[in-house]
Amino acid sequence: MENESVKCLIIGSGPAGYTAAIYTARANLKPVLYEGIEPGGQLTTTTEIENFPGYPEGISGPQLMENMKQQAVRLGADVRFGVVTSVDFSKRPFHVVVDGQKSLEAETIIICTGASAKYLGLESEQRYKGMGVSACATCDGFFYRGKEVAVIGGGDTACEEATYLASLCQKVYMVVRKDYLRASKAMQQRVMNTSNIEVLFGHVTQEVLGDEQGVNGLRLRNATGERTIELAGVFVAIGHHPNTELFKESIRLDENGYIVTEAGSSKTNIEGVFAAGDVQDSHYRQAITAAGSGCIAAIDCERFLLAQ
């Protein structure tokens, strides 16, 4: 097996990873960044981003990520295509394997592996992914202008997606398995005040219906039996899961699987391992907050190495 030693290894390539790369490169830590399965992360699945400061006209998600990558590369970061497949944090330098074959020693590691949308796990949902089943209203809502759609879930994300879709679509059903919404009061209010959203409380999705054209309905069950609703699109908004499978034996995670960082810093329970972005943040989950935490991790990492 090839072996290589690096000062700072960054795992993951969303806004947190690229920002950490920009800062550590400028600090002369010669960072090596592995992009992972989805280079650019979740933002590459969105279209227009209007709330990332510095882009008064907005910018597309893929373009924003490409810009961040180019900036990191220009400043000297070594950005590589590859997936970290195992880690050993038991001693420093840490030992990491990439793509199951390349061995690497790293003095410090910044974990920026992000989070992914959860799905219901139905076979029919899987079948119509990209053909009417989506987990991102801002990415795909545009395709359902003037049509009827459903959002599944009752949290803040579901409410946000439903109100966004209501501005484009003729009608939005919210399919909520309990008899209440988990979302904040303010978000619930927004949903209730939107005339073309109908909340179906106590409804569980049994099947996504469709044909070769894509989705055309949902089969639902409630306490009194089953019903079918006709629609053109289904947006699953039942939360996210952090991409921490790789680290679950080696680092402290919270009850939802997110990496625990010290308050106000990116430090994990392992000295020399830092975490940034959605992998340690279930609450804000914004490109700008992820980028900000990538900067924090880079500074923490630099100070850690200086103190050695």
**Contact residues: ligand NDP, CB under 6 A:** 120, 152-158, 160, 177-178, 182, 238-240, 282-283, 285
Q: Least distance from C-beta 145 to ligand NDP, angstroms?
A: 23
CA distance 187 to 93: 47
Tokens of 136: 């991102």
Catalytic residue among 136, 159, 169, 301: 136
Return the percent helix, strand and coil in the chain, to nearest 5: 30, 30, 40
User: Rounded to the nearest whole angstrom, what is the least distance from the CB of residue 103 to ligand NDP in the complex?
Assistant: 37
Query: Which residue in the block uniquely carries the two structure tokens 């089969």?
Result: 219
Nearer Cβ to ligand NDP, position 102 or 285?
Answer: 285
Shortest separation between residue 61's beta carbon and ligand NDP, angstroms: 17
| Residue number with CB closer to ligand NDP (155 or 257) | 155
Q: Are 255 and 282 within 8 A, CB to CB?
A: no
The smaller minimum CB distance to ligand NDP, of residues 215 and 238, is found at 238
User: Is 169 labeled as catalytic in the residue annotation?
Assistant: no
- Nearest distance, CB of residue 174 and ligand NDP, angstroms: 10
Look up 136 and say whether it is catalytic.
yes
- Show the tokens assigned to 90: 């038991």
Residue of 8, 112, 140, 159 with catalytic role: 140
Active-site residue (options: 139, 159, 169, 301): 139
Per the CB < 8 A criterion, the answer to whether 162 and 196 are in contact is no
Q: Give me the residue label for tokens 């960044």.
A: 33
C-beta of 152 vs 291, nearer to ligand NDP: 152
Nearer to ligand NDP, 91 or 185 (CB): 185
306 neighbors 279 (Cβ within 8 angstroms): no
β-strand pairing of 48-49 with 171-176: unpaired
Closest distance to ligand NDP from the beta carbon of 137 (Å): 11
Annotation marks residue 301 as catalytic: no
* Strand intervals (E) in 118-201: 133-134, 148-152, 171-176, 197-201
**Nearest distance from residue 205's CB to ligand NDP, in Å?**
7
Cα-flanking dihedrals φ and ψ of residue 71, to 5°?
A: -65, -45
Instruction: Between 104 and 209, name the residue whose CB sits nearer to ligand NDP.
Output: 209
- The CB density around residue 71, as the number of other CB atoms within 10 Å, is 15
284: Cα within 13 Å, side-chain hemisphere: 12
Q: Please give the positions annotated as active site.
A: 136, 139-140
